[in-house]
Amino acid sequence: MTKIVGCLLWITLCAAVGGCSLVKLSEESKAFYASTVLVGRVDSPSGWRGPVIVAAHARKSGRINIAHHTLLHEPGGYELIVPKGEYALFAFGDTNGNGVFDAGEPSGEYTGTTPIVATGTGVVALLDLVLNDASPDQIAIPVGTSFSASATRPHSTQAGALADLDAPIFSAENGARGYWAPMEFFKAAGGNVYFLEPYDPNRIPILFVHGAGGSPQDWRYFFDHIDRSRYQPWFFYYPSGAALDSMAYLLFWKLFNLQLRYHFETLYITAHSMGGLVARTFLLNHGGQFPQARLFVSLSTPWAGEATAELGVKHSPAVVPSWVDMQTQGRFVQALFARRLPPTVDYYLLFGHKGGYSMLRPNNDGTVTLASQLRNSAQAEARMVYGFDEDHVSILSSPQVFAQYQAILAKVEQKAGSGPRPGYARVKFAFVGHGDGPKGLPVLLLTPVDETARQQRAKVSVALRAEDTGIRVGPIPTGLYDASLIADSYKTEPPKVRVRIETNRTPTLSFRFVPQGVLSGYVGVDGDAADYPAGSYHPPHETVKIVSITLTGAGTRRTLAPRQAGHDDSAERYLAGEDDALGAYFSFVDLPAGDYELTILAEGYRPHTSHYTVVPGRPRQLNPIVLELATHD
């Protein structure tokens, strides 16, 4: 039976990729598992708000080779995918929109203390650039360098770009290309959260996430029938053949930048098919940073994976990366319900049962089996489960399904309206003695004061941009808090301020940042490219037993013995100017400028040594430290 199913899978695969062009698919998969995603932000203190081109480049045989570049419609977050190697980053404001770096255009380069090393896995983060008016002889990229592909690209990869749903890039055909050729898709189109209209703070955003081989056009019925006076549709468009962990991290990065830009107060998420797996993984890994996420609705999601994906991984000579995650007994599917969704999220499960049954396929909706859609763990977490006489495609254009969806929206809003009214605060801050480099992202942290309050209310954290001083932030549950503002590589003065949040007034919180030397990081789970492919979140090691972490250099030597458990007060210790290590995380603060050697000793692992340059007021790129297992001869 397995051989028969394998033959059917082979025939289907050959038809889908057009004449059995499996060589290209194989190359795509190999390239994906040998790449790293570089992410960061482009800031413009001079006020430039036009299009920006960002590029990763390497020097080979004396020539500059552009590995990947992308277009942003304004300064903000970017992501680039590159093969293994060392890279530099460059960005410029494309003032005339010709895709060429012309003399006089604002530009900037990444000025980190260490080279950017792409290891062929995961993400390198915090690679921030600043546009300024530096003269061309100070820039590695020569004037006249052309990025013409970006000049003709009809869209921006910066989160919140406006989309024309009828444009070819959003077509069903292009969505299919994102499944069979995810690397090609990402290099040409990127992945992004798009708007159908300019952002409106008075309407609730609903993020729609398509499934495998899908495109934003799959959601036309919802877009056309939803109450656009109350809701604003957003959609996540991504290469669905890429690893699902990677796409979940990409979704986090896009929403993080949108929250920085607009400070939206509420977010609903609606996902179809495999898109539900991406959305849930985002909520599991990063939902704690998004208390705005109140609703998650999935339609026809294969919560228990897909048996044919397992066969594809075993028998096909070319494997789509997302097949690896879709295996019923694979790491990804098995970990999906090891943790629960954040308590702030109401989850509703919708499924279709208009399919069929055969000797080769159990009951299904034409694509996904009922057993997978109705995984017990998914049902147990859902507030309600609704079934419809629809197949995998028709569920997205069914009047009955949409009527139930509207009822869910009404229920969630009724619940939100019945709670206590929140409050707001205004935050002012200034950077003292800072140069012209990136300032990083301050984070406002509000901690309930007494034990009873901490049991009733969680900590509130809000990320801000350097230019956000003076803005109003919220909503914040009313009560008494200790407020702190934290910025990497800075000392906060004062470390904290006590404030009462009320509904009828908006208190002002004032801080200033003074540069200090900081070296912080974490030990990541040991794994290979298949475990943490390009663009995926590399989690901290939860079971590693670190004996000591020693930092030597610039006339100082400090050693930490990490706490393995207990209350996480790392932020408080950072603000108090104390070195700290908890579990896999460590932080050395108030360091003199200079070169340092870091040594980590852990049970069962070889001693780790690495070198860093510390510059006060300059945040460092974020790479997890992966330890090597000890070998016994």
Instruction: Number of helices (H) and strands (E) in the chain: give both, helices first.
Output: 16, 31
CB burial class (10 A; 0-12, 13-18, 19+) of residue 625? middle
Tell me, yes or no, whether 630 lies in a domain.
no
Q: Which of 41, 36, 132, 45 is nearest to 92 (CA)?
A: 132
435-472 pLDDT tens trace: 667 788 999 999 999 766 566 667 888 999 988 999 99
208 and 304 share one domain: yes
Tell me, yes or no, whether 3 lies in a domain.
no
Contact 191, 278 (CB under 8 A): no
436 and 356 share one domain: no
481-513 pLDDT tens trace: 999 999 999 999 999 999 999 999 999 999 999
Residue 24 has pLDDT above 80, yes or no: no
510 and 532 share one domain: no
Look at residue 569 and give its three-state secondary structure: coil
197 and 301 share one domain: yes
322 and 455 share one domain: no
Q: Which is higher by pLDDT, 258 or 528? A: 258
307 and 448 share one domain: no
264-313 pLDDT tens trace: 999 999 999 999 999 999 999 999 889 899 999 999 999 999 888 888 78
Mean pLDDT of 420-430: 93
- Tell me the pTM: 0.91
Query: Tell me, what DSSP letter sits at residue 544?
Result: -
Residue 246 has pLDDT above 60, yes or no: yes
Angle at 216 between CA 210 and CA 217, to 5 degrees: 120
Chosen domain end from 121, 149, 177: 149
Chosen domain end from 149, 177, 193: 149
Residue 431: CA count within 13 A, CB half-sphere: 23
Q: Please, what's the b/e burial string for 514-531 (b: 16 or more CB within 10 A of its CB; e: otherwise)?
A: ebbbbbbbbbbbeeebeb
Instruction: Give pLDDT, residue 145.
Output: 87
Contact 416, 294 (CB under 8 A): yes
Work out how many domains the chain is built from and give that number. Answer: 4
488 and 526 share one domain: no
| Residues 6 or more apart whose Cβ sits within 8 Å of residue 481 | 446, 447, 448, 449, 460, 498, 499, 500, 501
User: What CATH number is attached to the domain comprising 254?
Assistant: 3.40.50.1820
Give the separation between CA 297 and CA 349, rounded to whole angstroms: 6
Tell me, yes or no, whether 291 lies in a domain.
yes
Instruction: Give pLDDT, residue 622.
Output: 72
User: What CATH number is attached to the domain comprising 491?
Assistant: 2.60.40.1120
Residue 318 has pLDDT above 90, yes or no: no
Greatest mean pLDDT range, 3-7, 252-256, 562-566: 252-256
Confidence of residue 1 (pLDDT cuts 50, 70, 90): very low
Instruction: Give pLDDT, residue 113.
Output: 74
Tell me, yes or no, whether 15 lies in a domain.
no
Tell me, yes or no, whether 454 lies in a domain.
yes
CB burial class (10 A; 0-12, 13-18, 19+) of residue 123? buried
441 and 527 share one domain: no
Mean pLDDT of 237-242: 95
Residue 620 has pLDDT above 90, yes or no: no
218 and 366 share one domain: yes
Give the separation between CA 383 and CA 379, rounded to whole angstroms: 8
Tell me, yes or no, whether 26 lies in a domain.
no
448 and 479 share one domain: yes
Q: Which of 455, 488, 627 is nearest to 571 (CA)?
A: 488
Confidence of residue 188 (pLDDT cuts 50, 70, 90): confident
Q: Could you tell me which residues are beta bridge partners of residue 485?
A: 444
Mean pLDDT of 547-560: 95
Instruction: Give pLDDT, residue 357.
Output: 65
Tell me, yes or no, whether 169 lies in a domain.
yes
Instruction: Give pLDDT, residue 8.
Output: 41
Please count the other Cβ atoms lying within 10 Å of the Cβ belonging to residue 368: 25
User: What CATH number is attached to the domain comprising 610?
Assistant: 2.60.40
Look at residue 515 and give its three-state secondary structure: strand
Residue 526 has pLDDT above 90, yes or no: no
Look at residue 174 and give its three-state secondary structure: helix
Q: Point out the least confidently predicted range of 161-165, 377-381, 473-477.
A: 473-477
Tell me, yes or no, whether 391 lies in a domain.
yes
Question: What integer best gives the mean pLDDT of the chain?
Answer: 88
Q: Which of 241, 314, 263, 317 is nearest to 470 (CA)?
A: 263
Chosen domain end from 491, 515, 539: 515
3-state secondary structure 599-628: EEEECCECCEEEEEEECCCCCCCECCECCC
Tell the residue number behind the tokens 């609704």, with chain if given: 386
Domain interval for residue 552: 522-614
226 and 179 share one domain: yes
407 and 267 share one domain: yes
Residue 16 has pLDDT above 60, yes or no: no
